[in-house]
Chains A and B, each alone.
Chain A
Amino acid sequence: MTEEYIIAGCLHNEPSAQRELYNRFSPKMLAVCYRFAQSREDAEDMLQEGFIKVFTQIHTFQNKGAFEGWIRRIVVHTCINFLKKYKKFNDNVDLDHADSVFIKEETIPSIMQAKQVNECIRLLPVGYRTVLNLYAIEGYSHKEISVMLDIEESTSRSQYTRAKSMLENILVKKNILEKPPTHTQFSWLAGVKKS
């Protein structure tokens, strides 16, 4: 079933086309939701809200750009709204004390590296994680993030810097990244381990 056929079916509110669209994109979108969410249950709630928006707003899709990208933007915005709605940002860590957040080594799950990186991202405090997800993975600018999260642009930058630093530490502890020698500034990333 082609993408055009699925979109046409969804525009006619056909359950089979909607199911096909869901089957095709829900695994990737759930992974997106899971990076923003506190738990799998929250991620599935986000996914559900996101897909309902996709199906009800599909007539606004202009066929400009990738259909998956359009769905992804809706899902990401749904995740942000979900976090705002349930005040998940209350769990945020004060930026000044971010370095003191202690993460136990054994809480990092021993699974395959791709999943391991995801789990490491999820170990970050929700505020850091959200900014990191939006900036580093979803490709939003700090300006866009500041609008989405109702924060200052500078706050977004500083949160991202802290999030990145914390994530690096976790990845090094897990031997996914190698810590570079101190004299070779910024060259350590060349030693990223491949799975």
Chain B
Amino acid sequence: MEDNFNQNNFEEFLKEQVRNHRMYPNDVVWRDINKKLHGDKKWPALTIAAFILLSATIAISVYFTPKPDIFTINPAHNEPKNSTLLNSEHSISLHNLASSDTLYKDKMVLSEAGKKQLTDIAAAAPAVSDINTTKATTKHKPAISVKKNIAGYNKSTTFKRRANQKSTNSYLALNNGKKSSNNIRNTNTTVSPEKTIASAVIKPIAENLKTANDFNDKNMVDNFLKDHKDDISLHTVSKLKRLKNRLSFQIYIAPSVSYRNLLEDQSVLKENINPGPVGLNYVADVNKVVRHKPNNGLEAGIAVMYYLSDNFRIKSGFQFNVRQYSIEAYRSNTELSSIALVGNNRIDTINTLAIYRNNNGSYPAELVNRYYQFSIPVGIEWEIIGNKRVQLNVAGSIQPTYLLNHNAYLLSTNFKNYSENPDMVRSFNINSNIETFISIKSGAFKWQIGPQLRYQPYSTFIPQYPIKEHLLDYGIKLGLSKTF
């Protein structure tokens, strides 16, 4: 048998207890509701950026990887053309020319005119001494590209030689003339980057017939250089110029989206800390109580890069950041708001006046926590893959940061109010950055574009404030650099 009085009192008791119970849902709930009601209108910027980067990486890997024989001279291009020979200027670009042993171990790039010069010498030898230069060519492995050149030429010229013996002799005779020698004197030979042959004055071919005969010698190239060392002037690049070649200047800008991550100081719960006038409210997760929205940010800076090697660079410079996020709040009457400070094994409380509530105010208000920062990033860049024109890079940096403004809104300890308290904002901080980008060389400049992530591992606020705010920015970085 139920007793009405008993029953009603019990129900009243329960109703009284639960009537004002409130719980604050995770912001994800509203986003899902909004998505179902209005669809997802968010532009998938990061997805598209990642897709573009992936596509570019594949494209670079497939189409821009240098072929193994890229430095081999194609024999088909070595056909002598007297008319162009006589009128052209010849240049040879060699690497590491200082040591003849290493001459052909490294890259050797012959300009077309330079190829003609060498093949012309090679052609002269068999024409006079009737020696098969293919067999006579040294087996010196590093000189393989030269061998191919000469061999290729001889293959094409041997059968012509007999038929055109007369014309060849005429050609040689012509080479004895002043015109020919003048042309060859104008030949420029350059070494890049360590040594440069500013000008290589090569004796007329007629005078070099003896040299041409020396193709039989397996150290043909060494002897050639040795005999002409007086005619070749080598200029050592000054240290200053080398330093300039290794330094480049960069300007960049990165529109970004700024997020924040809030963490509570859980050590307060673990340690036996004496509570202050206002106890900490850890019943709810702070991220589920507040309603914050990401906002647009910006990063801009200048940097100087130093090339440690072809692939590694270090860089440093000056950078200016704007980071911000929005807070959905409510305007209310002026209220007393308490902020707990945890430290020295106790909790202290400071009171401020607040005119914004987290919930249930007079009317909605949007607050913005905007930070202006100045930083000095120090970082490295690594070129993963690419050629002279297009490269794929990754980079990272550490950024000591100074906060230029301190007017941020802080949440009170009971999660009910927002108030400004400049003393609670930390002036110096550290940020870290990782990025990947594609760089494209265009004339004297190099452009770069790619996504970047910047994270602030230390809280924006002083360590005693129990809610830790870590800023996070996703952005697309656009940069322009130039070597000094």
Contact = CB atoms under 8 A, between A and B. Distances in A.
B10 interface: yes
A47 B14 contact: no
B278 to A, nearest CB: 14
A76 to B, nearest CB: 13
B14 to A, nearest CB: 5
B34 A47 contact: no
B33 A30 contact: no
A65 interface: no
B30 interface: yes
Most chain A CB within 10 A, of B13, B18, B23, B291, is at B23
Interface in B1-42: 2-3, 5-6, 9-11, 13-15, 17-18, 20-26, 28-30, 32-34, 36-38
Interface in A16-55: 18-20, 22-24, 26-28, 30-31, 34-35, 43-44, 47-48, 51-52, 55
Interface string A115-149: 10110010000000000100111000000000000
A43 B38 CA distance: 23
A192 interface: yes
A1 B364 contact: yes
Nearest to B36: A52
Nearest to A167: B14
B199 interface: no
Contacts, number: 95
B20 A114 contact: yes
Interface string B322-337: 0000001000000000
A68 B360 CA distance: 15
Interface in A173-195: 186, 189, 192
Contact of B17 (A113, A164, A189): A113
Contacts of A66: none
Interface in A139-174: 161, 164, 168
A111 B29 contact: no
Contacts of A135: 11
A30 B23 contact: yes
Contacts of B14: 117, 121, 132, 136-137
Nearest to A34: B23
A41 to B, nearest CB: 9
B37 A13 contact: yes
A15 interface: yes
B330 to A, nearest CB: 8
A184 B285 CA distance: 45
A21 B221 CA distance: 87
B283 interface: yes
B6 A114 contact: no
B15 A136 contact: yes
B484 interface: no
Contact of A15 (B5, B6, B28, B34): B34
By DSSP majority rule, is chain A's interface helix, strand, loop, or mixed?
helix
Contact of A114 (B2, B10, B21, B291): B21
B359 A27 contact: yes
Interface in A66-105: none
B363 interface: yes
Most chain A CB within 10 A, of B10, B32, B33, B360, is at B33
A115 B19 CA distance: 11
B24 A118 contact: no
Given A114-B21, A117-B14, A186 B3 contact: yes
Nearest to B24: A27
Given A118-B17, A137-B14, A44 B22 contact: no
B364 A114 contact: no
B366 to A, nearest CB: 11
A42 to B, nearest CB: 12
A58 to B, nearest CB: 11
Contacts of A35: 18
Nearest to A168: B10
Contacts of A132: 14
B230 to A, nearest CB: 85
Contacts of A168: 10
Contacts of B30: 19, 22, 26
A44 B364 contact: no
B6 A186 contact: yes
Given A44-B29, A47-B25, 20 more contacts: A13-B37, A20-B364, A22-B30, A26-B29, A27-B359, A31-B22, A43-B23, A44-B26, A48-B32, A51-B33, A52-B37, A114-B17, A114-B20, A114-B21, A115-B283, A136-B11, A136-B15, A137-B14, A137-B15, A192-B9
Of all A-B residue pairs in the complex, the 8 with the closest CB atoms, nearest first, are A27-B22, A117-B17, A30-B23, A31-B21, A136-B11, A186-B6, A189-B9, A31-B23
Interface of B: 2-3, 5-6, 9-11, 13-15, 17-18, 20-26, 28-30, 32-34, 36-38, 283, 291, 328, 359-360, 363-364
24 contacts: A1-B363, A13-B37, A18-B37, A19-B30, A23-B328, A23-B359, A27-B23, A30-B22, A43-B23, A44-B26, A47-B29, A48-B33, A51-B33, A55-B37, A115-B21, A118-B21, A132-B14, A136-B15, A137-B15, A137-B18, A161-B2, A186-B3, A189-B9, A189-B10
